[in-house]
Structure 1
Amino acid sequence: MKNVNPTNLMKAGALAAMAAAPLMAATTAFSSTPADHVTAVKAPCEAGYVCIYPGNSADGTPIKFKRYGTYNLRNQRGTHLVVNNQTGGAALRLCRAYNGQQCGPRLGRGAYHVNLTPINSIVLER
C-alpha cells in the first residue's frame, strides 16, 4: 500500500466536507419542511406551471397551477411529486395552514417529493 501523508488526508477530508456542505445545507433546509428535493426526475409539467402529481412519481394526471397566488389544497394525503416548472425565478411555498399561512421556505425550480398530509395550501410567487 502506498504511504499516505496524514496532512493530505485531512485536507482531502476538509475539501470533501466543504463540497458536501451546500448539499447538507439544502437537505437541512428542506427537512424543516415536508419537501425532499429530487434532482433527476423528469416529469411532463409544462413550462410556467407547478404540477402536483397524484402519487410520488410522474404517473397520472397532475393538478396544475399557473398564476401567481395562493391555492388551498383539499384531500392531498401522503407523498406526491411536486414539480415547480415556473420560469423567471418564480418560487413555490408549501404552507401548513389554509390561505397561504405558516409557509415554509421558497422552493425554486425543480422536482420535489412532498408529504402533503400537513400541507393545506401552496403559494406561487415571483
Structure 2
Amino acid sequence: MRRTAMALTALSLALGTGIATAPGAVAATPCPTGAVCIREFGGDILSKNIFYSYGAHNLDNVTGYHILVNSQTGRAGFQFCRGYDGTDCSITYRDTGPYPAIDFTPINSLLLVP
C-alpha cells in the first residue's frame, strides 16, 4: 500500500512539472487519405510534397532526413528512386502509415504504384 501511494505521488509530481509529458511537442500534420507525403522533422508537410497520382514524381530540393507517410488505400504502394522520372527504383513498399526517417539526398523521385 505504501509503495502504491509513493508511486502515485511521484506520478502526480511528474505530471505536474511536465516531466512525463512533452511540452512544446508539435503535432504532425496528417497526410491526406489517398496520398503519399514527405514530412519535415518539424511535423509539417509542404504542399509540394503531397503526391496523389500513380506514376513518377520528381522531387524538388528534398535533401536530408525526412519521414515518408503512405496514406494510399487499396494496398497501393510506392518506390524510392535514385533517378528522375522513376528510374533506378527500390522495391515496392505497401504498408500504410509513417516510415522511419531516411536520407532523401540520393533520392530524386518517388514512383507511386497501384
TM-score (norm 2): 0.67
Tell me the distance in 2 between the aligned counterparts of 1:60 and 1:103.
Answer: 23
Tell me, yes or no, if structure 1 residue 119 matches structure 2 residue 104: no
SS at match of 2:85: helix
Post-superposition shift, 1:74? 1.8
Tell me the distance in 2 between the aligned counterparts of 1:66 and 1:60.
Answer: 14
Cross-structure match for 2:8: none
Q: Deviations over 1:32-80 (max 9, x none)?
A: xxxxxxxxxx650111011112x23523535211011101112111001
Tell me, yes or no, if structure 1 residue 56 matches structure 2 residue 41: yes
Number of residue equivalences: 85
Tell me the distance in 1 between the aligned counterparts of 2:62 and 2:52.
Answer: 19
Distance 1:66 1:50, change over 3 A: same
SS at match of 2:91: coil
Alignment equivalent of 2:81, drawn from 76, 95, 120: 95
Cross-structure match for 2:15: none
Contact 1:58–1:81 (CA<8 Å) still a contact in 2?
no
Tell me, yes or no, if structure 1 residue 70 matches structure 2 residue 47: no
Structure 1 stretches of 4+ with a deviation exceeding 2 A read 55-62
Tell me, yes or no, if structure 1 residue 79 matches structure 2 residue 65: yes
CA RMSD of aligned residues (A): 1.9
Percentage of pairs with the same residue: 40
Contact 2:76–2:112 (CA<8 Å) still a contact in 1?
yes
Higher helix share: 1
